[in-house]
Every structure is written in structure tokens, then in C-alpha cells.
Chains A and B, each alone.
Chain A
Amino acid sequence: MRRALPWILGALGVVAVAALWELYKWLGPADGVVLGATAGQAGSGFRILPRTGDLNMPHVWDMFERLAAGNGPGTPPLWLSVLAAMGVTLGCAALGLALGLVVGFALALLMQRSRIVEWGVLPWVIVSQTVPLIAFAPIIARIGSQIDRGGFPWPGWLSVAVIASYLAFFPVAVGALRGLRSPDAIHVDLLRSYGAGYGQTLRKLRLPASVPYLLPALRLAAASAVVGAVVAEVSIGMPGGLGRMIIQFAQSASADPALPYGPVFGAVVVGLLAAGSVALLGLVLRNYRRGEAVA
């Protein structure tokens, strides 16, 4: 019962959002809520709550019905194409996360080893996150296509993964650095008294001690990788993934308002999968998280 409680509460939260949506759709004014509108002048003022018509706010159950239906007679149901797109995006995000993990961790190791490196690198690591991804993504794709010399074309998914990794490496680098620095002076002295070198200290002390810092960083990195992958797909126009699908479907939203919610749900599920796999990793490494509450 105690174990089931978080799941029940989580499910209730999802239901509550759907209920709120339906409640507003049912009770809210048909034209939405507009502030500062001039009487008789269409389009003036700021609409702070949307219109409640089916065009703007389809019923929750319509969204799911739409997922089960095809795009026409004889076509496969929408959820199948969403699932395929999810696979593409998840693959790109996973590769991006793996790249980000490797790069972020390598940077953290270098920065932990040398203060000079930290002073030189850390500011750039932070600045890197202020570059807008939308501007940055096409540059990556262009550079990628220029790198290619061996007849093997630089694939779009690789650009997407690299861009996803660009978001993912940041929390890993910062979190891992804090984690690798986390052992107390007494522990470092102790390992030194045993004559342990850098490698042994890293394996027996710094790596295990970094786990409580690394797990939240990874959760953040996983979510960032998914967001990065979706945005990158849109930005470089790679077909097949959720990002392109959301844009495409949004264009036909006026005729088929429930349609764009399919890939949106897909993106949510991909994000949950990414965060869930990190939680699973945390379960495997739970022995190294002792004392987390104390620290």
C-alpha cells in the first residue's frame, strides 16, 4: 500500500489536469477571457484564457479517440505513427544523452583534477547554455554536412543527437564535478594514507561518492536531451520524429483540432521514459545513495 501510494497520487494528478481542462471547457466563457479589449474592435486586448470551443480546446476523450483512428480509410491508426516517431526521437535523445554523459563526465574529471582547467573551462560550460538552441541547431547541421568527406553522408539524426547532447552535457558536467569534489578531507587523507593513487581514489572514493550528485543531474540531462531532440528536429527539419510531426499536425489543427495532441502525448511519454530509466538506474545504485538525506 505504501509503495502504491506515489503511483496512485501520480495518476490522480494526471486525472486532475484532465478534469481541470474539461471543467474550464464546460464552465468558461465561449470567447475565452480577454483583458483590455476595446468594445467592437476584434482582436484587441490580451486573451489570457483560450476560447472553449472544440476547435481550440478539444475534449480529452476526443484526443484519445483521434489517437485510435487513422488518417483516412485503410490507413493505420494515429498511435502507430506516433509510436514510430517516438522511437526516432527517443533514439536521438538517448544517443544525445550518452554523448552528453561522456563529454560532461570527461569535463568534470578534468576540472576536478586541475583548478586551472576548471577556471578555464567552467565559464565556457555555463556560457554554452545561453546560446539559443534554435539558432545553434542549423549551424551544427551545416558543420556536420561539411565534415563529411568519405562518401558517408552526415545523417540528420546525428545532428539531432549532437544538439540534444549539447543540452544534456551541462547538468552532467556541473553535477559530476560537485560529486567528484564531495568526499570529505578525511576520506581523501585516509586514501592517501593507504598509498592509493589517483586511479584508486577515483574508483573507490570519488566515483561512488558522486552518485548522489550524478543521479539528479542525469534526470535533468535526460529531460533536456528529449527537449533538445524535439527542438532540433523542428529546427533542422528532420522528418520522422515527434518534433516534425507536431509542426505538421499543428498546420492541420483547424480541420482536425485533436490531431496535434497525439505527438504531444508522445513527447510526454518519451520524457517519462527518459526520467524513468534514470530512476531505474538510481534503484540499481541505491547503495551509493546512503547518507543522501544527511548531506
Chain B
Amino acid sequence: MRFETKEALAAVPAVRAVGVEKTFGKRAKAVGALSGIDLEIAAGEFVSLIGPSGCGKSTLMRLLADLDQPTAGTVEIYGRTPRQARLGQEYGIAFQQAGLLPWRTVVQNIALPLELHGVSYAERAERAQRLAEMVGLADFMDRPPDQLSGGMQQRVAIARALAEQPRLLLMDEPFGALDEMTRERMQGELARIVGQSGAAVVFVTHSIPEAVFLSDRVVVMSPRPGRITAVVDTPFGRDRPETLREEPAFFAKVTEVREALHGVPVERANER
């Protein structure tokens, strides 16, 4: 048996994918969704997956979540199989749609995972209330989802993903359906919330500024077959003020990611 010190435990990566392949369909008509994916994400690290539609970023996230199985290769979540991680509630998950249950109030929605895992009523209520406060919905705890705006619903979904205090957050374009202003505000709040929880995050997005603003690393993917083409480090530290969006270093990283996405240097207007 392995003896795990605190340091050794911290050294176990949140996500380790080795040689992951995923094909959909039968042999003759097989579509390569993912090919040769090697990825390691450290505990507490925020990593964005970015790429055009069909590059397999959502598929990769589903493999991490054990919602799909890889055709080849191995995936480990904190050293365990995705299935063990799923059953052990190692990760929390949020999708593009909030996916709230319409017959449950805000706190009841947040408490759903706790309820399924047999947490006592009192503890459930207490934790769900604290989470509702954390995502700024203290005044809406007993409202049904249909009385909330899209941004508020998405906050509930994030609070629900955090309910089990997971060490890994999987987010599939959680702000994709929001308007630009709400989106930027939510990004700021997510950065704060994630900073508090210390969880590692895999964040799927279409938006380059969003990826750069939130991540420690941006993983750039391309389609047919889905693969990782570049990894851009975005080391702006844990604490990210809104003013970061205006800084030249931020723009430089946005450009770097954009170039990695397009595969060629992007011509700038002032350099022509």
C-alpha cells in the first residue's frame, strides 16, 4: 500500500489523460472525435479547453466525467478511474444550460446532490444556504427557477456543482447562453468562487478572452480528428481584477491563443 503524505497527495494530478482516443459509430463510418490526447492538470489548476465546434472539447469533458467512455487510452481523476471519481463525487459539473429542476426552489436545486447522497436535512439546508449566499442569491433561496434570469440560473447551477465540495469542477460552456455583460460579471465571480474553493477546473469555452481571463493554462484544440494543438500558459496569478482585461499582457495572451487557434500568425491592423 502506498503511503501518501500531504505533499504526495498534492502531487497527484487532478486530471491525467494518456493517449485518449474516442471514436463514434461503427468501424466503416467511424468518426474520430478525439485522437492522441495527453493532458495533465494539477490540483487547484484552472485549465480552459478552447477550439472550434467539433474539436472534441465537450467530448473530452464528458470522458473526464464518466458520461462517456474512451475508445482507447486511460483517464485518471486524482489517481482514480473516472467511474470511481463519479461515484465518489470527486467532481462537480455544470453545463451550458443550467439544467435546474423546475419543480425545486433554488436551495432545493443546490441541495439535490446532497439529498441523493443521504446528507441529513439540517446539514443540507445549511450548506445549500451558504452556497446560495456565496453565489449572491441570498434573496432568492425559495424562488423556483422560472422566476430567475439566465445568469441567476447559471449561478444556481454553479452552486449545485460546488455542493459536494469537489476537488474538480467540470464546466461545459457554462456562460455560453448569457449576454456579454452578464458573462463578464459571472467570469469575475467564478474566479472568486473557485479561488475560495481551491478546486481544479476544466472549463470548456468558445471565447478566447474568457479563457485567458480565467485560466492558468489554455488548451487549444482543433477538429477532425479532435486533438490538442497548443497549450498557452496564462500566468496572471490567482487574484484577477477586472482591470486585467485592459492590460497589454492580457491582449498579448489573447493574440497568442488566437494565433494558436488559427495555426498562423494573425496580421494586426497596425502592422500591415
Contacts and interface: CB of A to CB of B under 8 A. Distances in A.
Interface of A: 184, 186-187, 189-196, 200, 204-205, 208, 211, 287-288, 290-291, 294
A184 B66 CA distance: 18
29 contacts: A184-B97, A184-B99, A186-B97, A187-B99, A187-B101, A189-B65, A189-B95, A190-B93, A191-B116, A192-B67, A193-B65, A193-B66, A193-B67, A193-B86, A193-B93, A194-B89, A194-B112, A194-B113, A195-B87, A195-B89, A195-B116, A196-B116, A204-B112, A204-B116, A205-B101, A287-B103, A287-B144, A290-B145, A291-B146
Contacts of B146: 290-291, 294
A290 B67 contact: no
B115 interface: yes
B95 A186 contact: yes
B102 interface: yes
A194 B160 CA distance: 11
A194 B116 contact: yes
Given A193-B65, A193-B67, A290 B102 contact: yes
Contacts, number: 54
B165 to A, nearest CB: 14
A191 B101 CA distance: 11
B67 A195 contact: no
Contacts of B86: 192-193, 195
B29 interface: no
Contacts of B95: 186, 189-190
B116 A208 contact: no
Interface residues of B, number: 22
Interface in B117-150: 117, 144-146
A204 B115 contact: yes
Interface of B: 65-67, 86-87, 89, 91, 93, 95, 97, 99, 101-103, 112-113, 115-117, 144-146
A187 B101 CA distance: 8
Contacts of A294: 146
Q: Is the interface of B mostly helix, strand, loop or mixed?
A: loop
B162 to A, nearest CB: 13
Which 9 pairs across A and B sit closest by C-beta, in order of nearness?
A291-B102, A186-B99, A290-B102, A195-B87, A288-B103, A193-B93, A194-B113, A194-B116, A287-B103
B164 to A, nearest CB: 8
Most-contacted residue by chain A among B65, B89, B116 (CB, 10 A): B116
A28 to B, nearest CB: 52
A189 B242 CA distance: 34
The residue in B66, B99, B103 that gathers the most chain A C-beta atoms within 10 A of its C-beta is: B103
A290 B144 contact: yes
Among A186, A187, A191, A288, which residue has the most Cβ atoms of chain B within 10 A?
A: A186
Contacts of A193: 65-67, 86, 91, 93
Contacts of A204: 101, 112, 115-116
Contacts of B87: 195
B67 A189 contact: yes
Contacts of A189: 65, 67, 93, 95
A288 B116 CA distance: 19
A205 B66 CA distance: 20
A193 B168 CA distance: 13
Count chain A CB atoms within 10 A of each CB in B93, B102, B112 and give the residue with the most.
B102
Contacts of B91: 193
A246 B101 CA distance: 49
Given A189-B65, A194-B117, A290-B146, 16 more contacts: A184-B99, A186-B97, A189-B67, A189-B95, A190-B93, A191-B116, A192-B67, A192-B86, A194-B89, A194-B116, A195-B89, A204-B101, A204-B112, A211-B103, A287-B144, A288-B103
Nearest to A203: B116
A293 to B, nearest CB: 9
A83 to B, nearest CB: 39
A190 B164 CA distance: 14
A211 B89 CA distance: 30
A208 B115 CA distance: 15
Nearest to B99: A186
Contacts of B103: 208, 211, 287-288, 290
A208 B112 contact: no
A187 B102 CA distance: 11
A110 to B, nearest CB: 24
